[in-house]
Amino acid sequence: MLLQNKKIAIIGGGPGGLTLARLLQLKGANVKVYERDFNRDGRVQGATLDLHHESGLKALEEAGLLDAFKTNYRPNADRLRIVDENTKIFFDDHNDESSGNFGDESFRPEIDRGPLRTILVDSLKPNTIVWDSHIVSLESINDTWKIVFENGKTAIADIIIGADGAKSKIRPFVTSIQPFYSGITVLEGNIPDSEKNAPSIHNLLQGGKIMALGDSKTVSVSAKGDGSLNFYAGWKTNAEWVTQSGIDYKNTKQVLEWFKKEYFNWDTVWFELFAYENTTFTPRTLYCMPLDQKWEAQTNITLIGDAAHWMPPYAGEGVNMAMLDALQLSESLTSEKIVDLKSAIAYYEQQMFTRFVERGKETMHNTELMHSPEGLKKLLEMFNQFSN
């Protein structure tokens, strides 16, 4: 076994990293997950996730966690309304028959990030996750790695797997390739008890999702199982907007004033998204790794998820790509047909590169389409094509 007597360090406890840890532990590997969150409840988790048959669900099935997923997923949370800036509904599948069942290739069941994380964390052996482990540096020592964390602690590992997201600290040790700016920046917010704090949007959501398009801008809203909603406003701007705007993102009045100016043609109903005073908004500048990226495989370090193939979120592929990365990497590292670790990592990375070309093209196409002057029309044409 290639991993015999090897200590594996997975940097990052998101869905990809946790899925990989579970799959490797099932094969008897010695794994630690180093996560920067102080504990499992350290952060409010983001929007809902739709898992796909050939990737996210496949990884959970191989991990023996599909039954736990079925217990925790949210039926009908994938119901979608596509509206314009005035909330006029152009597409609505809330009254359609059930959108599918497990085993159907087109079925994409939704789950909140929190419950998914709980399923994965609970599946791991005790003390697998080392919380409060924010990496600050990595040093190669002979055939091992020394990891230094912000809290002053250190760890030694034989193999490093970077699952630490878009701004990965591990990526520079694997490749010097830099991402490019997609042209789109988003502002994310979360509103608790949406029925009380954003009643009009809550009623429009109907427990599902909203995609609103107008003036080359978007607002995407998702209902969550705890009664809250999560939303993203996306628009075209320069890559420096976040630092140049001068906005205090903890000041809802400032953010609302910005929204009124930037989304000046949009109905006042959207102002509800900024009415809850305790919302902390998070700006995100959306980048994408070059679709033709490749690098020379190494013997003891690689990347999965956004650390490997950062891209915008407009195709619903991020978490699914990460979990399929985890599955394919675990299969390579534990294969009896591969003779050494470098070959195992190279085989996984080649599969990942090939998938990213296709998924990245789809994502960048959707990103540009949705933020074009005819975004609503083009999106409706795409949905009608899929439904026929």
In this prediction the pTM is 0.95
Going by C-alpha positions, the residue among 114, 116, 78, 108 that lies closest to residue 94 is 78
Report H helices in 276-317: 306-309
pLDDT value of residue 314 = 83
pLDDT value of residue 30 = 98
Task: Show the domains of the chain with their CATH numbers.
Answer: 7-74+109-178+289-370 (3.50.50.60), 180-288 (3.30.9.30)
Rounded CA gap, 168 and 162, in Å?
A: 7
Strand duo 209-214 + 80-83: pairing:
parallel
Rounded CA gap, 137 and 115, in Å?
A: 31
| 40 annotated to bind ligand | no
Tokens representing 127? 């003390």
Rounded CA gap, 337 and 174, in Å?
A: 25
Paired strand residues for 34: 11, 130
User: pLDDT tens per residue, the chain (388 residues)?
Assistant: 899 999 999 999 999 999 999 999 999 999 999 999 998 887 756 678 999 999 999 999 999 999 999 999 998 888 999 999 999 999 998 877 665 688 777 788 999 999 999 999 999 999 999 999 999 999 999 999 999 999 999 999 999 999 999 999 999 999 999 999 999 999 999 999 999 999 999 999 999 999 999 999 999 999 999 999 999 999 999 999 999 999 999 999 999 999 999 999 999 999 999 999 988 899 999 999 999 999 999 999 999 999 999 999 887 788 999 999 999 999 999 999 999 999 999 999 999 999 999 999 999 999 999 999 999 999 999 887 765 5
Rounded CA gap, 110 and 92, in Å?
A: 17
Report H helices in the chain: 15-26, 56-62, 66-72, 113-123, 194-197, 199-205, 241-244, 252-262, 306-309, 318-333, 341-370, 375-387
pLDDT value of residue 94 = 82
Cβ atoms within 10 Å of 154's Cβ, excluding its own: 11
| 306 annotated to bind ligand | yes
| 43 annotated to bind ligand | yes
Tokens representing 57? 């669900």
| 132 annotated to bind ligand | no
